[in-house]
C-alpha cells in the first residue's frame, strides 16, 4: 500500500483507503480504551500501595460478619483520610483486642453521601457488624459533595447512582459519567492512574497539582446545620438498625469549629456521637503541615483516646 | 452534555449512525429532535424559551421577506431586535443591573436596598442563538437572504447541536443553505471530522485542563502572592482559554462534519497575531465578524471621519466585552481592546499599515501583541474589578511558594507545544494539525493523540469557559 496519496490515484481507491483509515482510527480508540481498562483492573493494584490497601479493605469489609461470641463485638470502621492518618490501626487492634474485632475501610476524600450509599451497598453485599463507626467531621457530615466517579466504582451499586446523584445535585452529564465509572475501572480511577504515573515520572508536578487544588477546610455555618445533621445521623441510624447494627459517629480532632454541635445533633437523633479528643486540646504539634490531618504523634493520642472511650 | 463527556460521545455516535441511515426528508426532523434533546438535557424549561424565540423570528423573517413596504419592514426589524435583545438582556443582565443599581444606591448613601430581587438563571447558549437569529432577520431586511420556507429548516439552523451552546456563531448565508440542501457522506470530510474532534479533545482535556489547574492555583492564592504568581497565572489562563475555546470549536466543527455540515473556522493561531487588529481576525472569528457586520458597520464603521471611527471601535469592543458576561471586568477588558485598536489605528501600527516582512520585527510585534492580550486577560479572569487591580498592583516578588517554579515549567512546556502546533498549522495552511498528511500518518497521529488524552486528561470534569456566556 502506498504511503502517500498520488494525484493519479483513482477516486474510488482513495475513498476506500480513507474509509479504512477512519475505521482503523475508531478501532484504535476502542483498543486503547480496552487496554487502559485492563491496566486499571489488573495493573493499578500492583503499582499503587494505596489502591492495593483500598481493595483489600473493601474485600474484607464485604466479607465482615457479626461476632458469634456475645463477649466480643465486631466493629466496621469507615471513613476518609482523617481516619487513615489519624488512627494507628495496630495500636487500636492491640488496645481493643479482648472486646472488639475491628475492620477498617477507608476511601480518601469521601463524605457523608459516599458512606451512606456505600454502607447500604456493603450491607446489600452481605457485610454485617455489631457496630458501624463512621469517622467524619461536621463539615463532612453536612456536605452534599461526593468523591464522584471513584465512589461510583468503589462504593456504590448501579442502583445507588440515581439517588446519590439526586442527593448531590449532580446534573445528567455527571450522572451518566457515574454510570460509566461504575462499570469502567479506568474511567473511575483515571485520576489515580495519572497520579501514580506522575509520581514516578515527575513527582514535583504531582505535588504542584496537589497544591493547586487544596481547598481550605470550611467550617459550616447556618441555622439549618443541626437540623441537617440530625436528619443525616437519623438516616444512617435507621439503615444500621435495619441490618441489626449499632451506629456510632466518631468525630476526629480538627480545627473544625462546628464539631461541638454534633453532640447535640446526636442526642436529638438518638445516635451515639463520640469525640474522644475535642478540637481545642491538641496543639499544631499534633498535626501535619496541612493543619488538617493528624501526624504520627497526633494519631497515637487519638487512638489511645478511642481505646479509653470504648473500653470504659 | 459537555463535549468532552462520555455522554456526548455516546450521543454523537448514536445520532451519526441513525442520521445517515435515514432518508433525506427525515434527516432534518431527526436532527432537530436530537438537538432539542441535547439542549433539554441541561434544563428542558429553557427549551421552551428557545422554541418560542425561534418561532417568533421565523414569522417576522417571513413577514419582512414578503413585504415591499420599507416602513413596515423597518418596523418589523425593530420589533424583532427589541424582542431578541430584551430576552437576552433580561436573562443575561438582570442580575448585573440590579447589583450595580444597589451598589450605586449604597455609594450615594441611600443605604442598602431592602427589596430582595429574584435571581435569574442564564439559559445555556442564549447569547449565541440570539446572535444567529438577529443575523437572520437583518440579512433578510438587507435583502441578502430569502426567508426560510420551512420552520423545520429554520429551527434546525438555529438549534443544530454542535454550535448550539457556544458557537461558532453561524451565518445564515453559510449554514441555512446547507440545512436546506441534501448532505452527502464524504469519507474525506468524515475523517477530517474525526480528526477535528480528537484535536479538540487534546486542546481541551490535555492543554486547557492542565492550564486551568495552574491558573486556578495562582488566582486562588495557592502558590502565594505577588508579581511572579500573577504572571504565571495569567499565562496559564491565556493558554487555558485558548485551548478550551479552540478545543470546543474544533469538536463542534468535527461533530458538524460527521453530519455533512461545514462550520466556519473560529480560531486561526491567535497568539501568532502581530497586532491587535490581526488578533481579532484570528480569535473567536465568528463573534468578531458578527460584531463587525452587525454592529460596527451599521454604526458607520470608518466611513464618517476619524472621531466617529474611534467611537464606533470603542462601542463595538465595549459591547463585545459586555456580551461575554454581565460584569464590569468584561467591560474593562473590551475597553482595553478598543483603546489599543484605536491607538494602532491612530499610529498606523496595524497589520495592514506595516506588514512585517522581517522575521525579527514580526516576532517582536507578536510578543508585544501577546503581552497586551495577556494584560487584558487579567480583567477577563478576575471575578471583580478590585481583584484585577489588586493582582496588578501586588508587585512583591518574594512571597511565592516553591511549587510556583514547577507551575511555571509546566506552563512553559504547554506554551511550547501550543506554539509548535500553531506554527505548523500556520505554515502548512491547515485547518487542524497534520490535515495535509497522508491518511496513514493521520491515523498514527490520531491514535497517539488519543493515548495522550487518555493518559493526561484530568479526572474532574471542567466545564468549557464559554458555556457561561
Q: Would A310 be classed as within a structural domain?
A: yes
Span A123-168, pLDDT tens digits: 999 999 999 999 998 888 988 889 989 999 999 999 999 999 999 9
**Is residue B306 one of the residues assigned to a domain?**
no
pLDDT score recorded for residue B463:
57
CB B282 within 8 A of CB B249: no
Asked if residue B331 is part of any domain, the answer here is no
- Report how far residue B270's alpha carbon sits from residue B238's, in angstroms, rounded to the nearest whole number: 11
Q: B147: closest CA among B129, B126, B157?
A: B157
Q: CA B73, CA B193: separation in Å to the nearest integer?
A: 40
Interface contact A149-B403, CB threshold 8 A: no
**In this complex, which of B216, B438, B441 lies closest to A212 when CB atoms are compared?**
B216
Instruction: Give the confidence band of A115 by pLDDT, cuts at 50, 70, 90.
Output: very high
Residues of A in contact with B5 (CB under 8 A): 173, 176-177
For β-strands A100-106 and A73-79, DSSP reports them as parallel
Please identify every stretch of chain B with a pLDDT value under 70, giving residue numbers as ranges: 109-120, 349-356, 397, 458-469
Q: From chain B, pick out residues whose CB is under 8 angstroms from the CB of A24.
A: 443
Neighbours of A312 (CB within 10 A): 5
Q: Is residue A51 part of a domain?
A: no
Does B77 reside within a domain? yes
Domain of residue B49, residue span: 6-183
A13 inside domain: no
Query: Does A133 share its domain with A229?
Result: yes
Instruction: Identify whether residues B243 and B230 lie together within a single domain.
Output: yes
For the beta carbon of residue B377, count every other beta carbon within 10 angstroms: 22
Q: Which of B 159-218 lie inside 8 A of A, CB atoms?
A: 187-188, 190-191, 194-195, 213-214, 216-217
Residue B298 lies in a domain: no
- The answer to whether B190 and B230 have CB atoms below 8 angstroms apart is no
Domain match, B131 and B217 both: no
Mean pLDDT of A161-180: 93
Residues A171 and A275 in one domain: no
What mean pLDDT do residues A13-27 have? Answer: 85
Check whether residue B16 and residue B132 sit in a common domain. Answer: yes
Residue A250 sits in the same domain as residue A231: yes
Q: Is the pLDDT of residue A271 over 70?
A: yes
User: Is A197 within a domain?
Assistant: no
Nearest CB neighbour to A211, from listed B223, B440, B446: B223
Residue at B302 is within a domain: no
What ipTM does the predicted assembly reach?
0.81
The better pLDDT of the pair B122, A227 is held by A227
B407 interfaces chain A, CB cutoff of 8 Å: yes
The pLDDT value given to residue A301: 92
Q: Which residues numbered 255-294 in B keep a CB inside 8 Å of some CB on A?
A: none
Please report whether residue A22 resides in a domain.
no
Interface size between A and B, measured as CB pairs under 8 A:
118
**Number of neighbouring beta carbons within 10 Å of residue B44:** 11
B31 and B156 both lie in a single domain: yes
Tell me whether residue B430 is in a domain.
Answer: yes
| Residue A29 reports pLDDT greater than 50 | yes
Q: How many domains does chain B have?
A: 2
Q: Are residues B210 and B144 in the same domain?
A: no
B438 CB within 8 Å of a chain A CB = yes
Could you tell me if residue A164 is inside a domain?
yes
From the list A171, A180, A204, the residue facing B6 with the nearest CB is A180
Query: B290 to each of B131, B172, B395, B469, how far by Cα in Å?
Result: 8, 11, 39, 16
Q: Are residues A158 and A241 in the same domain?
A: no
The confidence score (pLDDT) of residue B120 equals 67
Same-domain check for residues A244 and A262: yes
Q: Which of A183, A204, A239 is the last residue of a domain?
A: A183
Is B351 contained in some domain? no
HEC letters along chain A: CCCCCCCCCCHHHHHHHHHHHHHHHHHHHHHHHHHHHHHHHHHHHHHCHHHHHHHHHHHHHHCCCCCCCCCCEEEEEEECHHHHHHCCHHHHHHHHCCCEEEEEEECCCCCHHHHHHHHHHHHHCCCCCCEEEEECCHHHHHCCCCCCHHHHHHCCCHHHHHHHHHHCCCCHHHHHHHHHHHHCHHHHHHHHHHHHHHHHHCHHHHHHHHHHHCCCCCCCCCCHHHHHHHHHHHHHHHHHHHCCCEEEEECCCCCCHHHHHHHHHHHHHCCEEECCCCCCCCCHHHECCCCCCECHHHHHHHHHHHHHHHCC
Does the active-site annotation cover B337?
Answer: no
Say which of B42, B442, B459 has its CB closest to residue A190.
B459
Residue A8: per-residue pLDDT:
55
Residues in contact with A293: Cβ distance below 8 Å, sequence separation at least 6, in sequence order: A81, A82, A85, A86, A287
Per-residue confidence (pLDDT) for residue B133, from 0 to 100:
94
Contact B287, B169 (CB under 8 A): yes
Are residue A138 and residue A160 in the same domain, yes or no?
no
Domain-terminating residue out of B148, B183, B218: B183
A201-220 residues touching B, CB cutoff 8 A? 204-205, 207-209, 211-214
Q: Are residues A111 and A155 in the same domain?
A: no
- Range A7-15 average pLDDT: 70
Same domain membership, residue A242 and residue A138: yes
Q: What per-residue confidence (pLDDT) applies to A192?
A: 85
Domain termination residue (choose one: A134, A158, A183):
A183
Are B87 and B212 members of one domain?
Answer: no
Based on the domain organization, do A118 and A157 belong to the same domain? no
Residues B81 and B32 in one domain: yes
Q: Please report the sign of the dihedral spanned by the C-alpha atoms of residue B298, residue B304, residue B307, residue B310.
A: positive
Q: Kindly state whether residues B174 and B207 are assigned to the same domain.
A: no
Helical packing angle, A158-167 and A112-124, nearest 10°: 160
Integer CA distances (angstroms), B260 to A278, B30, B135, in order: 66, 14, 23
- Which cell is B332 given? 474593562
- Which pLDDT value is given to residue A3? 38
- Report CA dihedral (A88, A272, A137, A112) to the nearest 10 degrees: 100
Whether B319 is in a domain gets the answer: no
Judging contacts by C-beta atoms under 8 Å, the chain B residues touching residue A212 are: 213-214, 216-217, 220, 222-223, 403, 407
Last residue of one domain, picked from the residues B135, B154, B183? B183
User: Are B179 and B192 contained in the same domain?
Assistant: no
Return the pLDDT at A178: 94
CATH of residue A309's domain is 3.40.50.1110
Q: Which residue of B has its CA nearest to A148?
A: B460
What's the pLDDT band for A6 if we cut at 50, 70, 90? Answer: very low
My answer on whether B150 and B215 are in the same domain is no
Q: Cell match 491514535: residue? A: B447
Give pLDDT tens digits for A87-114.
999 999 999 888 899 999 999 989 999 9
Q: Which residues of A are less than 8 Å from B8 in CB distance?
A: 173
Shared domain for A161 and A260, answered yes or no, is no
Number of domains within chain A: 2
Mean pLDDT score of chain B: 87
**Domain match, A151 and A117 both:** no
Q: Are residues B18 and B42 in the same domain?
A: yes
Look at residue A104 and give its three-state secondary structure.
strand
A-interface mutation test, from B8, B224, B403, B412, most A Cβ less than 10 A away: B403
Which domain does A151 fall in, by range? 147-183
Whether residues A89 and A167 share a domain: the answer is no
- In angstroms, the CA A166 to CA A164 distance is 5
Q: Which of B151, B183, B215 represents a domain boundary (last residue)?
A: B183
B239 and B137, same structural domain? no
pLDDT higher than 50, residue A1? no
Amino acid at each position: 500500500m502506498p504511503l502517500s496519496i498520488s494525484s493519479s490515484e483513482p477516486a474510488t481507491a482513495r475513498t476506500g483507503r480513507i474509509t479504512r483509515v477512519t475505521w482503523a482510527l475508531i478501532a484504535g480508540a476502542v483498543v486503547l480504551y480496552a487496554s487502559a481498562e485492563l491496566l486499571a483492573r489488573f495493573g493499578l493494584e500492583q503499582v499503587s500501595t494505596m489502591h492495593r490497601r483500598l481493595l483489600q479493605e473493601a474485600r474484607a469489609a464485604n466479607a465482615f460478619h457479626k461476632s458469634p461470641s456475645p463477649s466480643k463485638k465486631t466493629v466496621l470502621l469507615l471513613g476518609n483520610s482523617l481516619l487513615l492518618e489519624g488512627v494507628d490501626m495496630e495500636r487500636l487492634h492491640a488496645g481493643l483486642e479482648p472486646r472488639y474485632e475491628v475492620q477498617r475501610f477507608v476511601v480518601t476524600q469521601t463524605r457523608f453521601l459516599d458512606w451512606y450509599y456505600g454502607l447500604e451497598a456493603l450491607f446489600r453485599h452481605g457485610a454485617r457488624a455489631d457496630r458501624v463507626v463512621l469517622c467524619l467531621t461536621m463539615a463532612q457530615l453536612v456536605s452534599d459533595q461526593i468523591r464522584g466517579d471513584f465512589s461510583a466504582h468503589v462504593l456504590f451499586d448501579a442502583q445507588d447512582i440515581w439517588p446519590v446523584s439526586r442527593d448531590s445535585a449532580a446534573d445528567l452529564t455527571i450522572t451518566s459519567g457515574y454510570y460509566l465509572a461504575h462499570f469502567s475501572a479506568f474511567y473511575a480511577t483515571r485520576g489515580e492512574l495519572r497520579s501514580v504515573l506522575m509520581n514516578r515520572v515527575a513527582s514535583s508536578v504531582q505535588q504542584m497539582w496537589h497544591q493547586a487544588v487544596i481547598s481550605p477546610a470550611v467550617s459550616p455555618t447556618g441555622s439549618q446545620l443541626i437540623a441537617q445533621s440530625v436528619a443525616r445521623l437519623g438516616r444512617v441510624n435507621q439503615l444500621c438498625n435495619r441490618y441489626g447494627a449499632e451506629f456510632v459517629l466518631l468525630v476526629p480532632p480538627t480545627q473544625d469549629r462546628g464539631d461541638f454541635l454534633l453532640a447535640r445533633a446526636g442526642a436529638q437523633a438518638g445516635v451515639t456521637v463520640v469525640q474522644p479528643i475535642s478540637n481545642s486540646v491538641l496543639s499544631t504539634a499534633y498535626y501535619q503541615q496541612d493543619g488538617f490531618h493528624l501526624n504520627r504523634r497526633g494519631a497515637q493520642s487519638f487512638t489511645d483516646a478511642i481505646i479509653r472511650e470504648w473500653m470504659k | 452534555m459537555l463535549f468532552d463527556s462520555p455522554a456526548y460521545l455516546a450521543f454523537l455516535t448514536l445520532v451519526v449512525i441513525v442520521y445517515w441511515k435515514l432518508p433525506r426528508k427525515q434527516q432534518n426532523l431527526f436532527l432537530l429532535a436530537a438537538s432539542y434533546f441535547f439542549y433539554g438535557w441541561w434544563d428542558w424549561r429553557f427549551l421552551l424559551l428557545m422554541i418560542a424565540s425561534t418561532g417568533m423570528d421565523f414569522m417576522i423573517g417571513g413577514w419582512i421577506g414578503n413585504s415591499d413596504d420599507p416602513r413596515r419592514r423597518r418596523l418589523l426589524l425593530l420589533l424583532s431586535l427589541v424582542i431578541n435583545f430584551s430576552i437576552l438582556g433580561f436573562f443575561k443582565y438582570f442580575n448585573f443591573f440590579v447589583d450595580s443599581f444597589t451598589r450605586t444606591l449604597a455609594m450615594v448613601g441611600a443605604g442598602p436596598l431592602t427589596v430582595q430581587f429574584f435571581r435569574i438563571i442564564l439559559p445555556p447558549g442564549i447569547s449565541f442563538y440570539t446572535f444567529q437569529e438577529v443575523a437572520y432577520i437583518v440579512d433578510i431586511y438587507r435583502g441578502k437572504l430569502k426567508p426560510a420556507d420551512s420552520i423545520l429548516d429554520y429551527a434546525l439552523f438555529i438549534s443544530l447541536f454542535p454550535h448550539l451552546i457556544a458557537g461558532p456563531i453561524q451565518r445564515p448565508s453559510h449554514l441555512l443553505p446547507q440545512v436546506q440542501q441534501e448532505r452527502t457522506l464524504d469519507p474525506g470530510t468524515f475523517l477530517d471530522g474525526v480528526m477535528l474532534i480528537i484535536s479538540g479533545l487534546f486542546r481541551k482535556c490535555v492543554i486547557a485542563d492542565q492550564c486551568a489547574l495552574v491558573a486556578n492555583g495562582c488566582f486562588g492564592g495557592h502558590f502565594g502572592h505577588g508579581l511572579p504568581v500573577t504572571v504565571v497565572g495569567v499565562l496559564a489562563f491565556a493558554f487555558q482559554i485558548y485551548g478550551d475555546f479552540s478545543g470546543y470549536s474544533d469538536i463542534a466543527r468535527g461533530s458538524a462534519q460527521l453530519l455533512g455540515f461545514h462550520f466556519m473556522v473560529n480560531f486561526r493561531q491567535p497568539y501568532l497575531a502581530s497586532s491587535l487588529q490581526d488578533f481579532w481576525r484570528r480569535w473567536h472569528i465568528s463573534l468578531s465578524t458578527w460584531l463587525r457586520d452587525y454592529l460596527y458597520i451599521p454604526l458607520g464603521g470608518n466611513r464618517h471621519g476619524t472621531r466617529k471611527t474611534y467611537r464606533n471601535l470603542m462601542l463595538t469592543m465595549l459591547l463585545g466585552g459586555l456580551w461575554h458576561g454581565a460584569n464590569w471586568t468584561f467591560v474593562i477588558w473590551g475597553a482595553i481592546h478598543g483603546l489599543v485598536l484605536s491607538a494602532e489605528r491612530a499610529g498606523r501600527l496595524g497589520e495592514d499599515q506595516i506588514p512585517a516582512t522581517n522575521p525579527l520585527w514580526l516576532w517582536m510585534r507578536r510578543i508585544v501583541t501577546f503581552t497586551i492580550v495577556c494584560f487584558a486577560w487579567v480583567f477577563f479572569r478576575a471575578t471583580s474589578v478590585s481583584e484585577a487591580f489588586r493582582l496588578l498592583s501586588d508587585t512583591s516578588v518574594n512571597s511565592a511558594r516553591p511549587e510556583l517554579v514547577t507551575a511555571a515549567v509546566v506552563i512553559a512546556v504547554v506554551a511550547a507545544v501550543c506554539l509548535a502546533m500553531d506554527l505548523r498549522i500556520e505554515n502548512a495552511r491547515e485547518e487542524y494539525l497534520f490535515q495535509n498528511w497522508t491518511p496513514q500518518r493521520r491515523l498514527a497521529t490520531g491514535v497517539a493523540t488519543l493515548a495522550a488524552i487518555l493518559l493526561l486528561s484530568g479526572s474532574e470534569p471542567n466545564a468549557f469557559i464559554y458555556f457561561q456566556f
